[in-house]
Amino acid sequence: MVTAKVWALKKHFEGLPKTGDFVLKMIELPKLKEGELLLESVFLSIDPYMRLYSQKDMKEGDIMPGTQVARTVESKNPAFTVGTFVVANSGWRTHFISDGKGLQLLPPTWPESLPRSLALGAVGMPGLTAYFGLLEVCKMKPGETVLVNAAAGAVGSLVGQIAKILDCKVVGCAGSDPKVAYLKKLGFDEAFNYKTATSLDEALSKASPDGYDCFFDNVGGEFSSVAINHMKKYGRIAVCGAISQYNDSVPQKGPYIQVPMILKELQMEGFIVYRWDNRKEEDLKVLLKWIVEGKLKYHEQVTEGFENMPAAFIGMLKGENLGKAVVKV
Ligand code: NDP
C-alpha cells in the first residue's frame, strides 16, 4: 500500500497566501487495476495561475492544482513501462494513480545532460507560452522592439531570449538588481529594476525612445497603464498574465486604456497557451533544439522537499524566484 502526501487548500487566500492557508494530508492509494499505473512526482511546478484559479475554481479542501514530472513506479498499462518519465497534471501530490490518459511522455530525444524539470519550464508550458505569445499574438517581426515585464521569470526570460534569437531589440524589467544583471547576461538590450526606477514612464522612454512595437505583458495593473502610452502606432500587446492583480481582494481601478488604444490603433489580445495544444509537440522540439544549441539559456529556482511547496509558491508570488520555480521532491 502506498501513502501519498498531498497539499490542499485549507482556507481561501486573502491577499498574499500564508503557509497556514494550506494543509498537508495523507491519502492511501488503492491497488492498481488493469490499465493503470502508479506514478511518483519528481519535480513539481510552481506557477502564478494557481493563485488566480484558487479564487475562481477551487473550494476549501480541494487539492492544489499543478503539473509535475513523474516517474512510473508500477504499471499495469503497457504504454508506460516502469521507469518511464511523464509530465502529468495531477496537482500537489507525491504519488498518484493514472489510467494513462493525458500523460505526456518526455520527448525520446531528451538529452541525458538536461534536467527533466525543464519539461515544466523552458521545454514545457512556460516555453510554449513565450513562443506562441510572441509569434502568434504579438506577431513579432525581425527588427521590432519588444517590451516584457516579469522578465527574469519563467516566461519572461524566454520571451526576451526568443525575441533576440529572432532579431528583435528587447527591453525587460524585473524587481531586483541581480535579476536585472541576469537579463543583461541573457543578452537583453536594455533592462531596469521597476521597483527602484524613480519613474516608470522615464525608464520606458529611456530604454526605447521610439517606443515599442510589441508588449508581452505578464504583470497588468499600473505597469500596463503606463506602458500602453509607450506603444508605437499599430503596436501589439499580448496579455499573458496580470500577476500584480492576483492577490487583490478589491479590484484595482483605472487609468483606463481606451484612449491610447484608439489613438495609436493598438491591438491587445489575451491568450491561454493551451489554444495551440495541437502544435505543442512540434514547438517543444524547437525549444529543446535551441536549449541544446545553447541559444536559449535557462535558470531554475529549485526548492528541495515536497513539504516546502507552500513556501516555494509564496516565494514566487513575492518575486524570490530567478527563472522557473520548481520543487524537487
Ligand atoms: P514568474 O517566474 O515570472 O514568477 C512570477 C514573477 O512575477 C515574480 O518572480 C516577480 O518578479 C513578478 N511579480 C510578482 N508580483 C508582482 C507585482 N505585483 N508586480 C510586478 N511583478 C510581480 O512566473 P511565470 O513566468 O510562470 O508567469 C509569468 C506571468 O505569465 C504570470 O502572470 C502568469 O500568470 C502568466 N502566464 C500565463 C500563461 C498563459 O497561458 N496566458 C501561461 C503561463 C504563465 P519580479 O521580481 O520581477 O517582480
CA distances from 184 to 163, 164, 200, 214 (A): 14, 12, 19, 19
Nearest atom in ligand 1 to 321's CA: 9
Cβ–Cβ contacts within 10 Å for residue 35, how many? Answer: 14
Domains of the chain and CATH, by start: 2-120+299-328 (3.90.180.10), 125-273 (3.40.50.720)
- CA torsion sign for 124, 165, 115, 84 is positive
C-beta 321 within 6 A of ligand 1:
yes
Contact 174, 191 (CB under 8 A): yes
Reply yes or no on whether the pLDDT at 254 is more than 90.
no
Nearest atom in ligand 1 to 176's CA: 46
* Average pLDDT taken over every residue of the chain: 97
List own/partner pairs for 294-298 with CB under 8 A and 24 or more apart: 295/161, 295/165, 296/122, 296/158, 296/161, 296/162, 296/165, 297/157, 297/161, 297/186, 298/118, 298/121, 298/122, 298/157, 298/323, 298/324
pLDDT at res. 82: 97
pLDDT at res. 145: 98
Reply yes or no on whether the pLDDT at 108 is more than 90.
no
Contact 295, 280 (CB under 8 A): no
C-beta 41 within 6 A of ligand 1:
no
Contacts of 95 (CB under 8 A, 6+ apart): 2, 3, 4, 5, 29, 38, 39, 40, 41, 73
- CA 255, 261, 263: angle at the middle one, nearest 5? 110
Reply yes or no on whether the pLDDT at 144 is more than 90.
yes
C-beta 175 within 6 A of ligand 1:
yes
Nearest atom in ligand 1 to 155's CA: 25
pLDDT at res. 138: 98
Nearest atom in ligand 1 to 156's CA: 25
CA distances from 3 to 26, 38, 40, 64, 96 (A): 6, 11, 11, 18, 9
Distance from the alpha carbon of residue 5 to the mean position of ligand 1, in angstroms: 27
Mean pLDDT of 44-53: 98
Q: What is the pLDDT of residues 156-178, one digit of tens each?
A: 999 999 999 999 999 999 999 99
pLDDT band at 80 (very low <50, low <70, confident <90, very high): very high
Cβ–Cβ contacts within 10 Å for residue 201, how many? Answer: 13
Reply yes or no on whether the pLDDT at 109 is more than 90.
no
Question: Which residue of 16, 180, 193, 218 sits with most ligand 1 atoms within 8 Å of its CB, as the best mutation to test the pocket?
Answer: 218
Question: Residue 245 corresponds to which cell in the numbers above?
Answer: 492583480
Contact 215, 235 (CB under 8 A): yes
C-beta 272 within 6 A of ligand 1:
yes
Q: Which of 125, 156, 114, 122 is nearest to 50 (CA)?
A: 125
Q: What is the pLDDT of residues 298-324, one digit of tens each?
A: 999 999 999 999 999 999 999 999 999
Mean pLDDT of 70-91: 97
Contacts of 116 (CB under 8 A, 6+ apart): 42, 43, 69, 85, 106, 110
Nearest atom in ligand 1 to 271's CA: 41
Question: What residue's CA is closest to ligand 1, atom 17?
Answer: 244
Q: What is the pLDDT of residues 180-239, one digit of tens each?
A: 999 999 999 999 999 999 999 999 999 999 999 999 999 999 999 999 999 999 999 999
**% of the chain with per-residue pLDDT over 70:** 100
Question: Which residue of 155, 215, 248 sits with most ligand 1 atoms within 8 Å of its CB, as the best mutation to test the pocket?
Answer: 155
C-beta 326 within 6 A of ligand 1:
no
C-beta 260 within 6 A of ligand 1:
no
The pTM assigned to this predicted structure is 0.98
C-beta 150 within 6 A of ligand 1:
yes
